[in-house]
Amino acid sequence: MERKATRRENECEEQNSNSEGSEQDKDYKTSLITLNVGGYLYITQKQTLTKYPDSFLEGIINGRIMCPFDADGHYFIDRDGLLFRHILNFLRNGELLLPEGFRENQLLAHEAEFFQLKVLSEAVKSRWEKEQLASRETTFLEITDSHDRSQGLRIFCNAPEFIAKIKSRIVLVSKSRLDGFPEEFSVSSNIIQFKYFIKSENGTRLVLKEDNTFVCTLETLKFEAIMMALKCGFRLLTSLDCSKGSIVHSDALHFIK
């Protein structure tokens, strides 16, 4: 009798455990919400969508705002489905995190306003204003002789990332050709200084050793800078020193997009 009673108790415990497990599974499933935003499906938790009170999404989940359903019974929101990933990431992370090179600030700001997320809208507008301010500021790169800064090339551009790209390219080439001689050139924020500049009939060479080993001519750097600029969508605004009569012989290049 005792064994039968014990068996029944174990069976009851298992049933209760299974019942509790099924209830937990049910609660977890009901906390998941699928949204159809402009044809793109997103699955997230209820607590994520209701993170900001009085927002559009919180209103839908809590029944304050009527929302249509698609054929599969998912909430349908007729907005930009691709941009919604940034809305959802903001709800998940609590901060604005965008991929490098993101250029749709104005559209995202409109989406943030539609979803009634004031904090996100302000963050996007602040980011947009900073980018516009940065685009108006001209940055430069100076490639010069460490003994005579009048010798060399100056590249100006209103896009800091392009200046950084040219700089990394020149440093990469210089290191590859100066293996074992790192002291022959130094790099700072906006200046690359080579140890020796020697002018010859073939133009100005970046001479590094007594045996006339050199990286390249300044003319080569100018041509490469111009080609990189054109590939990136920039145009040569003007030579800042037209007295030389030729872009190749000028001391500075100015690019703008």
Q: What is the DSSP string of 192-251?
A: EEES--EEETTEEEEE-STT--EEEEHHHHHHHHHHHHHHTT-EEEEES-GGGSSTTT-S
Residue pLDDT, tens place only, 172-195: 777 776 665 556 677 887 888 877
Q: What is residue 180's DSSP assignment? A: T
The torsion of the CA quartet 62, 35, 56, 126, rounded to 10 degrees, works out to 140
Closest to 65 (Cα-Cα) out of 50, 83, 86, 47: 50
**Mean pLDDT throughout 43-57?**
95
Question: Mean pLDDT highest for which of 15-19, 27-31, 119-123, 170-174?
Answer: 119-123
Collapsing DSSP to helix, strand or coil, 83 comes out as coil
Summary mean pLDDT of the chain: 78
Between 101 and 75, the higher pLDDT residue: 75
**Beta-strand runs (E) in 132-202:** 139-145, 152-157, 185-187, 191-194, 198-200
> Which domains, ranges and CATH numbers included, belong to the chain?
26-134 (3.30.710.10), 139-256 (no CATH)
pTM value?
Answer: 0.49
Tell me the pLDDT tens digit for each residue of 89-141: 999 999 999 987 788 999 999 999 999 999 999 999 998 888 776 665 558 88
For the residues 70-74, what does the mean pLDDT come to? 96
Answer yes or no: are the C-beta atoms of 134 and 163 closer than 8 Å.
Answer: no
Q: For position 28, what pLDDT does the model report?
A: 44
Q: Which residues, including other chains, have CB under 8 Å from residue 145's CB and lie 6 or more apart?
A: 151, 152, 193, 194, 196, 197
